[in-house]
Amino acid sequence: QVHLVESGGRVVQPGRSLRLSCAASGFTFRSHAMQWVRQVAGKGLEWVAVLSSNGGDQFYADPVKGRFRISRDNSKNTLFLDMNSLRIEDTATYRCAKGSASVGVTGFLDAWGQGTLVSVSS
Partner 1 sequence: SYVLTQPPSMSVAPGQPATITCGGDDIGRKSVHWYQQKSGQAPLLVIDYDFHRPSGIPERFSASNSGNAATLTITTVEAGDEADYYCQVWDATSRHWVFGGGTRLSVL
Q: Is 105 in the site for partner 1 (CB under 8 A)?
A: yes
- Residue 107 Cβ vs partner 1, minimum distance, rounded to whole Å: 8
Determine contact, residues 80/19, Cβ cutoff 8 Å: yes
Host H or E run for residue 45: strand 45-51
Among 44, 66, 75, 122, binds partner 1 (CB under 8 A): 44
Do residues 78 and 22 make contact, with C-beta atoms less than 8 angstroms apart? yes
Closest CA to 4 of 114, 99, 116: 114
Non-local CB neighbours of 70 within 8 Å, separated by 6+ positions: 34, 36, 48, 49, 50, 51, 58, 60, 79, 80, 81, 82
Q: Does 112 bind partner 1 (CB under 8 A)?
A: yes
The stretch among 11-19, 73-81, 83-91, 110-118 that binds partner 1 (CB under 8 A) is: 110-118
* Residue 27 engages partner 1 in binding (rule: CB under 8 A): no
Using the rule CB under 8 A, is 122 a contact of partner 1?
Answer: no
**Chain contacts with partner 1 (rule: CB under 8 A):** 35, 37, 44-47, 50, 59, 61-62, 95, 97, 100, 105-106, 108-110, 112-115
